[in-house]
Structure 1
């Protein structure tokens, strides 16, 4: 049952629409809103400390910056943090994001329950997402909204490797980091083989081109 819900959304136009949609759902008793991720995590933590946790978090990924300095940069940071503290919290991401790799990454890494892409039919999609969660199912917006071009199945290891290289790590530094964190495979040869495979998979001319494609596709 979804009794208590928190909406993390910085635009009233969307927040009001989400709240109206939720109000039409039976058994929802409490709907709270937060316009900043920092405020959202405080509300989530306060509810946990009172042994009255939220059942569902609906959050955007991107939040506009303003005069107020924030520790959490966006929805992904919020999800990452609260999942460590409340692993069973149901989460719907409600975002303009439409890159399949990014969406798939959120499902794989954070075990989100639904992804609704902002657009023409987003309120209908949101209703479907809520109903799916009530039935312990996952939901993702209509495929027509989501770009699946150049779709490849990447492991968390692949993504971490690309992220380290994108930060400027040399292959030797990547090797040392993986060994330090006890992540396998971590030998220089295995890293080289993995990069070679990724270049072939993405039809990249070199590692720089590979990283550029990974950024473009929303993988890193």
Structure 2
């Protein structure tokens, strides 16, 4: 008889854990362990690595129950610790965080095998994610996939001048005030007409109605803070 798949769940909300457990029961017969903090999660992974290793970790990103003694204060730190120790485990994020910049940074820097949203993490979704993870593939829930695709497309279209324009625009009452502020890498000042053209192209690329809308969408995509 084959050994059961071992899954560790790390989340500081018991209701969320219960929801994930219910979904997992619909998917299959797994050996599931739960914890409400990242320090314990890491210790469980480390101590069982040589004997009864976990194949999958599902973790939230934010934990509200941290203290002064907490070493790993969130899912990002937990994933980093696992990566730094070269532990062989598939990592899935189950979270409520949908901010494009945070999503993009987590996926780009930490490379989790899956990124799911708590609000849409039913048995079908988590089951499909597990299949992908075990096949050494990646699965991002549809909303997250769309955000990453859009961010990647926008990122390709961005250049240093575009970033300068987006960052400086909220600081000036008139577009004309940007002339002399926006410069090329070699220090050459960008003329007003070129700035206006850049803004027009940015509005098209980000599907913005006006410059105010442009800044909001740039922030939503995490292009500027």
- Using structure 2 for the length normalisation, give the TM-score: 0.63
User: How far apart are residue 102 of structure 1 and its match?
Assistant: 2.6
Change (3 A) 1:42 1:60: same
RMSD: 3.6
User: How far apart are residue 147 of structure 1 and its match?
Assistant: 4.6
Change (3 A) 1:101 1:73: same
Q: Give the secondary structure class of the aligned counterpart of 2:46.
A: helix
**1:25 counterpart residue number:** 27
Change (3 A) 1:12 1:205: closer
- After superposition, give the CA deviation of every residue in 1:97-153 in whole Å (9 maximum; x if it has no partner): 11334323323322211100121x321422221122233321111228965697246
Change (3 A) 1:38 1:198: farther
Change (3 A) 1:44 1:144: closer
Change (3 A) 1:24 1:53: same
Structure 2 Cα separation of the partners of residues 207 and 5 of structure 1:
48
Which stretch shows the higher mean deviation, 71-80 or 18-27? 18-27
**1:14 counterpart residue number:** 16
Equivalent pairs, count: 175
Tell me if 1:197 matches 2:159: yes
Q: Check conservation: 1:96, 1:118, Cα contact below 8 A.
A: yes
Q: Which has the larger radius of gyration?
A: 2
Q: Check conservation: 1:101, 1:217, Cα contact below 8 A.
A: yes
User: How far apart are residue 83 of structure 1 and its match?
Assistant: 1.5
Structure 2 Cα separation of the partners of residues 44 and 14 of structure 1:
21
Structure 1 Cα separation of the partners of residues 138 and 148 of structure 2:
18
- Using structure 1 for the length normalisation, give the TM-score: 0.65
Structure 1 Cα separation of the partners of residues 84 and 19 of structure 2:
29
Change (3 A) 1:35 1:78: same
